[in-house]
Amino acid sequence: MSPLNIKKGSTKHSAYNLRSNFSDVQETHTLAVLVANEPGVLARVIGLFSGRGYNIDSLTVAEVDHEGHTSRITIVTTGTPQVIEQIKAQLGRIVPVHEVHDLTVEGASVERELALIKVEGTGDKRVEALRLADIFRAQVVDSTLHSFVFQITGTPEKVDAFVDLMRPLGLVEVARTGVAALSRGA
């Protein structure tokens, strides 16, 4: 035995396989990030998520204040509570990021998503699709003799449910915007 007290070559530990005892429950949070509308700001936000290994479930971005050059990025992300806290802190560090809000913990909020859904079919299936669209308050925005394009807005769960129902009825294509969200009240 060497004077090192461990057998040479006996440990497989690397310095990098260290994880602490934080909670490992996965949570989904919706974050609203107000950013200066300057070139590359979206790349910074996305680069942060990919660079540090965070998840993006959905992401929407658009300018919301032309005068103030502000854009709003809504990100739905999943991670342990510690990872979510890190994501918020890391987002806050980005120089053109003005505000970061966790809508999931900052009181009630409304979340909506828009989807365009193309369904192909004839006969009963076509009628059934139209009937279900009515129940879900989806609108027909394009129609041919063999197809519809529905427009539906709602929570991601509602959109999921509608898409699932359309599947056996001739679902062809889905386009979703991702979640936009605002806190309730003033």
68 binding other proteins? (CB under 8 A)? no
Nearest CB to other proteins, comparing residues 36 and 132: 36
168 binds other proteins (CB under 8 A): no
| Other Cβ atoms within 10 Å of 60 Cβ, number | 17
Check binding of 98 to other proteins (CB under 8 A).
yes
125 near other proteins (CB under 8 A): no
Our CA angle for 100, 103, 107, nearest 5°, is 125
Sole binder of other proteins in the list 62, 64, 89, 105 (CB under 8 A): 89
> Interacting stretch for other proteins, rule CB under 8 A, among 3-11, 24-32, 129-137, 150-158?
3-11
25 binds other proteins (CB under 8 A): no
**Backbone dihedral region of 63: left (phi > 0), alpha (psi from -120 to 50 degrees) or beta?**
beta
SS (H, E, C) 58-120: EEEEEEEECCCCEEEEEEEEEECHHHHHHHHHHHHHCCCEEEEEECCCCCCEEEEEEEEEEEE
If you count them, how many residues does the chain have? Answer: 186
Does 107 sit near other proteins (CB under 8 A)? no
CB 119 within 8 A of CB 130: no
Using an 8 Å Cβ cutoff, are 168 and 129 in contact?
Answer: no
What is the C-alpha radius of gyration for the chain, rounded to an integer number of angstroms? 23
**Closest approach of other proteins to the CB of residue 25, in Å:** 15
**Environment class of residue 107 by beta-carbon count within 10 Å: exposed (0-12), middle (13-18) or buried (19+)?**
exposed
Residue selected from 25, 43, 108, 135 as contacting other proteins according to rule CB under 8 A: 43
Least distance (Å) from other proteins to the CB of residue 2?
Answer: 9
Select from 80, 78, 67, 75 the least CA-distant residue to 97. Answer: 75
The only residue of 31, 32, 51, 147 in contact with other proteins, by rule CB under 8 A: 51
For residue 53, state whether it binds other proteins (rule: CB under 8 A).
no
Among residues 28, 82, 143, 183, the one that binds other proteins under rule CB under 8 A = 82
Q: Does 144 bind other proteins (CB under 8 A)?
A: no
Residues in the site for other proteins, rule: CB under 8 A?
3-6, 8-9, 11-22, 36, 39-40, 43-44, 47, 51, 82, 85-86, 89-90, 92-96, 98
